[in-house]
Amino acid sequence: MAEFILDVNGAQLHVNAPADESLLSVLRNRLNLTGTKYGCGEGQCGACTVLLDGRATRSCLVAVSSAVNTKIFTIEGLEQNGKLSAVQQAFLDEGAFQCGYCTPGMILSATSLLHRTHNPTEEQIVEAMNGNLCRCGTYPRIVAAVKRAARLMPAKGASR
Ligand code: FES
Ligand code: FES
Chain segment 22-43, per-residue pLDDT in tens: 999 999 999 999 999 999 999 9
Other Cβ atoms closer than 10 A to 61: 14
At residue 4, the 3 state secondary structure works out as: strand
Q: Is 129 close to ligand 2, i.e. is its CB under 6 Å away?
A: no
C-alpha 89/C-alpha 95 separation (Å) is 10
In the reported structure, the alpha carbon of residue 18 is separated from the centroid of ligand 2 by a whole-number distance in angstroms of: 31
Choosing from 74, 96, 119, the residue where a domain stops is: 74
Number of structural domains the chain divides into: 2
Pocket flag, ligand 1, residue 41 (CB < 6 Å)? yes
pLDDT in tens, the chain (160 residues): 999 999 999 999 999 999 999 999 999 999 999 999 999 999 999 999 999 999 999 999 999 999 999 999 999 999 999 999 999 999 999 999 999 999 999 999 999 999 999 999 999 999 999 999 999 999 999 999 999 999 998 765 444 5
Range of the domain at 24: 2-74
User: d(Cα 25, Cα 8) in Å, to the nearest integer?
Assistant: 14
Put simply, whether the predicted model's pTM sits higher than 0.85 gets the answer: yes
- The alpha helices in 23-131, defined as continuous H runs, are 23-25, 86-94, 103-116, 122-129
